[in-house]
């Protein structure tokens, strides 16, 4: 066999390899000679094996597909055609995939050749001063550590009572989220500590805290404090990011 002195590792996958073989042999893509192409394809797989190239499963899968199509073509055409009005050429799907693959392969080359930021064109990198949002002048956003510190305070003030009791409790983050949202309703802000009323149990603290984190994640509330390490306030923030239309349902919270 000649002509297999191709750089094997250059093939992105079985479709790429098939495209190459079909083009090289000037085969008609709509009438691929299955016997010939299968033989060549398998021969290349053999070469890859002898070269100890890591033969990806996809190549083997395609080999199986080719053999399957080939055998289908060998089967005599049965009169069943009356049932299935027009039985599709077994090669049709493969042809579609090849042409489709070729389309994206070509456009990916076009993309690669087009000017890329950081490679062909450069933009200024302007260091931006940190600017406070005007609406919250005087308030600064709360960092994670401040939030954890506040949680620690709450837990410290509500030490766990060493009483042994066994009972069923239903704590739901979703319920807590709704409770917090209704507490915020109509108000401009709520103090962080007010969410943890006196005598609140440890597990309730945790559920409340998780609910708060979820609310921040969902961008329904914002935490602000007037000075660093000052008391933390909760602001409703129903500002939907124009870029992120996250459709958040109950199940996406991961709790129920």
Partner 1 sequence: MIPLDTLELIQLVEALIFAADGPIKAERMAEALDTEQTEILAAIEALEVDYAERPRGFFLQEVSGGYQLRTRPEYADFLRKLGHNRPFKFSRPALESLAIIAYRQPVTRSEVEYLRGVDSGSVLKTLLEKRLIRILGKKDVPGKPMIYGTTREFLELFGLADLSALPTLREFSELMPDEENGVAGGDDEGVSLPLLIDEDVVEESSVTKP
State both tokens at 237: 């923030």
Q: Which is nearer to partner 1, 9 or 46 (CB)?
A: 9
202 forms part of the interface with partner 1 (CB under 8 A): no
Select from 68-76, 92-100, 171-179, 193-201 the region that touches partner 1 (CB under 8 A): 92-100
Q: Which is nearer to partner 1, 16 or 204 (CB)?
A: 16
Binding to partner 1 (CB under 8 A) within 97-126 occurs at 97-124, 126
Q: Which is nearer to partner 1, 85 or 120 (CB)?
A: 120
Contact yes or no for 195/212 (Cβ under 8 A): yes
Burial (CB count <10 Å: 0-12, 13-18, 19+), residue 73: middle
Alpha-carbon distance of 107 to 100, in angstroms, equals 11
- Scored b (16 or more CB within 10 A) or e, 146-177 reads bbeebbeebbeebeeeeeeeeeeeeeebeebb
Binding to partner 1 (CB under 8 A) within 221-240 occurs at none
Q: Which is nearer to partner 1, 55 or 155 (CB)?
A: 55
Binding to partner 1 (CB under 8 A) within 15-34 occurs at 15-16, 19-20, 22-24, 29
Give the contact letters, 41-60, x = binds to partner 1 (CB under 8 A), - = no: ---------------xxx--
Minimal distance in Å, beta carbon 67 to partner 1? Answer: 16
Minimal distance in Å, beta carbon 199 to partner 1? Answer: 40
Q: Which is nearer to partner 1, 57 or 76 (CB)?
A: 57
- How many residues bind partner 1 (CB under 8 A)? The answer is 52
- Beta-bridged to residue 224, according to DSSP, are 141, 233
62 forms part of the interface with partner 1 (CB under 8 A): yes
Look up tokens 């309703």; give the residue: 185
- Scored b (16 or more CB within 10 A) or e, 81-107 reads eeeeeeeeebbeebeeebeebbeeeee
Alpha-carbon distance of 256 to 248, in angstroms, equals 13
Residues that bind partner 1 (CB under 8 A): 7, 10-16, 19-20, 22-24, 29, 56-58, 62, 97-124, 126, 128, 243, 246-247, 252
């Amino acid at each position: 066999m000649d002509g297999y002195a191709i750089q094997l590792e250059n093939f992105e996958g079985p479709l790429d390899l098939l495209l190459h073989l079909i083009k090289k042999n000037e085969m008609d893509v709509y009438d691929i000679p299955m016997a010939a192409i299968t033989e060549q394809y398998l021969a290349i797989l053999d070469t890859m094996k002898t070269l100890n190239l890591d033969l990806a499963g996809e190549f083997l899968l395609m080999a199986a597909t080719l053999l399957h199509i080939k055998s289908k073509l060998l089967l005599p055409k049965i009169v069943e055609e009356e049932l299935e009005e027009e039985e599709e050429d077994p090669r049709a799907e493969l042809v579609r995939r090849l042409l489709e693959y070729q389309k994206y392969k070509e456009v990916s080359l076009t993309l690669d050749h087009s000017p890329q930021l950081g490679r062909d064109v450069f933009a200024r990198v302007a260091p931006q001063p940190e600017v406070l949002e005007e609406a919250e002048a005087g308030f600064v956003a709360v960092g994670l550590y401040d939030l954890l510190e506040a949680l620690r305070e709450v837990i410290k003030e509500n030490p766990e009572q060493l009483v042994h009791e066994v009972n069923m409790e239903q704590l739901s983050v979703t319920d807590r989220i709704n409770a917090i949202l209704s507490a915020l309703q109509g108000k401009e802000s709520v103090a962080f500590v007010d969410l943890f009323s006196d005598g609140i149990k440890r597990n309730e603290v945790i559920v409340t805290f998780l609910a708060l984190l979820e609310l921040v994640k969902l961008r329904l509330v914002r935490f602000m404090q007037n000075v660093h390490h000052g008391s933390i306030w909760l602001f409703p923030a129903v500002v939907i990011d124009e870029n992120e239309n996250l459709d958040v349902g109950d199940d996406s919270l991961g709790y129920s």
